[in-house]
Chain A
Amino acid sequence: MEGPAADIAAADVAAADVPVDLLAHGVGSRTDLPLPLGLALYGAGAAILVGFVVLLLFWRSPKLGDGRSGRPLPGQLQRVADSPAVRRGLQAVALAVAGLVVAAALLGPEDTSRNLAPWALYVTFWVGLVPASLLLGPVWRVLNPLRLLSRLLRPLAGPPRGADRLPGLGLWPGAVSLLAFVWLELVPAGRTDPVVVAAWLAGYAVVQVGASLWFGEEWFAAGDGFEVYSTLLGRLSVLGRRDDRRVVLRSPLTNAMTTPARPGLAAVVLVLLGSTAFDGLTRTVWWQSGPGAADDVLSGTLGLLASIALVSALYLAGTRLSGRLSRLPLGPQPRLFAATVVPIALGYTVAHYFSLLVLDGQTTWILASNPFAAAGVDLFGTYGNVVDLRAVSADLIAYVQVGAVATGHVLGVLLAHERALRLAPRAPASDQLPLVVVMVLFTVGGLGLLFGF
């Protein structure tokens, strides 16, 4: 794919020709079929209808708990969750695995299809972080190997001199680092090259650990995109922390409502939503034969930024307009409602990457059996296996896609409604219409991208 031969070939290709790399996402052997039109329409209709019915009929006063609610877990579990030794141990394991992946990238087979690293990063880690965080809460905060590195280097670096300035940055650094990752994942043609994967991971680690030495270890909660992502998705798990730091079981919706509305939270959510929308866009024939036909870094970068800009403009307009109707201060509106868009972003993510994780995700486990392609090595006896692309049917994938987007919409509308009731208890429900309309647009747009327009 790389090298001068590819360049010459690409130069000769006429403008109307098929783009060189159809698989928009980092890696993968297949993409999903377009959604059947009927299913897409039913899904959109049901989601919008349920959203409005709940909003107007059943949810007239705040119903969710606050930061003090939840059923505490047994003390032993709490101690394990809080134990520094357990954390350091898990982080050491994660560091060893990350080191192995980077080593496999550099020393393993050069061919992407046989190298562990791209599959481990783009599929198992990045996509797998979603179910892991939804089940277990902010897992990457616990596992983050960069936290361990930062701790080990702390004696050399001295006290964190920029610690005072960290709170002022909010989650903006996390939004930037997420943008850097989704750009790598979706734009440059060399993204699946194992050496590129190794270089990016090493560069990311250097920047993040360097920033943490300056700002203190709490940097990771604000500036490490993976940790910010995992923590945000963990807000939709049943595990949370009460205001008194007790680990509790509570409704994911209550959990989501307790997300601190830090500056930059909206940017994080919009980068996630916009980038997933762009991934869907690049799979459409319209993009491949139109704006993205050149399939180069420029068109990809512009497309990614335009997607994020579009969802951001819609979101800002919706939240500010709703706020104006209720006579609320407009500045904080976007971040106050940002957590309510997380279910919609999650719905997009599940819809786009569910099949990638369950189908092409098998590759990671196959290749992990022999990461360096050494003769005779087969740790788990799976190295000779092939990916079972029939593990889930096309019908199931389509139902999961529509179900995820529709569920995300309903939960998003519900959370936004609850938030609005708390912010302006006496305001009429119609004040929320602008934001609901924007959410409807997100949902219809998301299903439209899956349908392929």
Chain B
Amino acid sequence: MSGRRNVVPAAAGPTVLLLAVLLLTGCAGTSPEDATASTASGASSSAASTPDGRAVQRSPTATQPPSGTQLTVEVAGGEATGDTGRVPVALGERVTLTVTGDAADELHLHGYDLTAELLPGQPAALTFTADIAGVFEAELHEAGTVLLSLQVG
């Protein structure tokens, strides 16, 4: 009676997968030099920022148009207009996000971790290659206003 049929091998699969997950979580990120995404911190001020190493990332589209995708957002009285909401872009696309606000603030694109200083009435731009897949928010740090969520992929 106690010797019933017992082991269902199919259940071992998820266990192995989860072991892999557990091991993966042990890794504590990557050094900044390896993470090409973080090297673009200087890309904040002007739209014509020099292409850094990230332009040659494993992007599926080898022939990128030089201009790339232009996204513009205006913020007035805490309200964002323009390319707001869920904004899809293709993986590997060159993206320029230009934000003009009516108050001093800091623009932050999560995940890519890019920032730009905003001065009242002056457009500030982030130019980057959208080479990390996922959905990422761009927000104003001081006001907490979410401008858009960039859907890459």
Contact = CB atoms under 8 A, between A and B. Distances in A.
Interface of A: 1-2, 5-6, 8-10, 12-14, 17-23, 29-34, 63-66, 68-71, 124, 128, 130-132, 134-135, 236-238, 250-254, 285, 289, 354-355, 357-358, 361-363, 365-366, 368-369, 380, 382, 384-394, 400, 404, 407, 411
B25 A9 contact: no
Contacts of B144: 1-2, 5-6, 9-10, 20-21
B6 to A, nearest CB: 5
Interface stretch (B28-36, B45-53, B59-67, B92-100): B28-36
Given A20-B145, A128-B25, A29 B136 contact: yes
Which of B5, B91, B111, B144 has the most chain A CB within a 10 Å cutoff?
A: B144
A385 B32 contact: yes
Contacts of B133: 33, 393-394
Contact of B143 (A6, A32, A355): A6
Given A9-B78, A32-B135, A135-B22, A18 B2 contact: no
A264 to B, nearest CB: 26
Which of A250, A252, A354 has the most chain B CB within a 10 Å cutoff?
A: A252
Interface in B1-34: 1-8, 11-15, 17-19, 21-22, 24-32, 34
A394 B8 contact: no
Given A65-B6, A357-B21, A362 B28 contact: yes
Contacts of A382: 28-29
Nearest to B150: A30
Contacts of A130: 18
Q: Give the interface size bracket for B toward A.
A: 35 or more
A112 B133 CA distance: 23
B146 A22 contact: yes
Contacts of A400: 17
A13 B147 CA distance: 12
B131 to A, nearest CB: 8
A70 B111 contact: no
B28 A29 contact: no
7 contacts: A6-B144, A18-B84, A22-B137, A385-B29, A388-B29, A394-B153, A411-B11
Closest 9 CB pairs of A and B: A365-B28, A9-B78, A394-B133, A385-B29, A382-B28, A388-B30, A65-B4, A30-B134, A131-B18
Contacts of B15: 134-135, 237-238, 252
B2 A69 contact: yes
Contacts of B6: 65, 69-71, 250-251, 254
Interface in B46-104: 77-80, 84-86, 91
B19 A22 contact: no
A382 B35 CA distance: 13
Nearest to A410: B10
A9 B15 CA distance: 47
B116 interface: no
A366 B29 contact: yes
